[in-house]
Amino acid sequence: MIKFFRHIRKRMLKENRLTRYTLYAIGEIFLVMIGILLALQVSNWNQERIAHKKERLLLDALHEEFMENKTQLDTVVSYHKKALASTRYMISQFPIDTETIDLESLTRKTKFWGYRFTFNPSQGVIRSLVNTSSFDLISNEELRALLVSWEDVLADYQEEEVMASEAVKTYQGPRLMDNVSWRGYEDERFDKEYLTSIQFENIFYTRENNILDIFGGVTGGGELLRIQKTIDRIIELSAPEEQ
């Protein structure tokens, strides 16, 4: 097309038809400009397509990581619930009547009281995103905000778990082990009068409070609910695109 305009322009110039020559020259320039603009547009489309493809790969990896983290958190929470159920069963027996209490049943129904499971999520993908230029590829503003706040959300939740775990390790566990055999309360050497002591009751009352702190108190809100919502939203925003 440009050659066609150039041929006409040369012929017009030879015939001294200046006005028409000028028009054809302008037309040729216009076509060149259109060609440049189209080339730039195609280049932009290609760059956007490449960037979107890279973003999709990152989102897929992020989605997989947080699906695994959700599974792990659900498992950890289930153990916290078992610990709480065992602890509350023991509390329900207070004050314990040493003459009528079924020691074998007490051992069996309270064996999970000291579970110390903690949530330790995989963070390889999210750290590589937040701490590198790859973060610029994430286009969703809400997802960007969730990723930036993730470490704080996680730390706030883990603080309650660590406190509960340390209480079992340094206070509740050692005091119970000083008086109760690994075999349980039915061990013939066990002094049943310990079951009526203030120390014994306090072990389980403090344990209940520690576990409830993980769950956000009696209302069940707090940091556990916050981290669950954060994980669910990250999973939702990073989900594969519908075909």
DSSP 175-235: HHHTTSBTTBTT-TT--GGGGGSHHHHHHHHHHHHHHHHHHTTTTT-HHHHHHHHHHHHHH
Residue 47, both tokens:
């760059």
Does 46 have pLDDT greater than 90? Answer: no
* Domain chopping of the chain, boundaries: 2-43, 55-237
Per residue in 128-170, pLDDT (tens digit) is 999 888 899 999 999 999 999 999 999 999 999 999 999 999 9
Per residue in 205-238, pLDDT (tens digit) is 999 999 999 998 766 678 999 999 999 999 999 9
Give Cα separations from 46 to 52, 53, 150, 156 (angstroms): 10, 11, 33, 43
Is 196 within 8 Å of 109 (Cβ atoms)?
no
Residue 84, both tokens:
């709480």
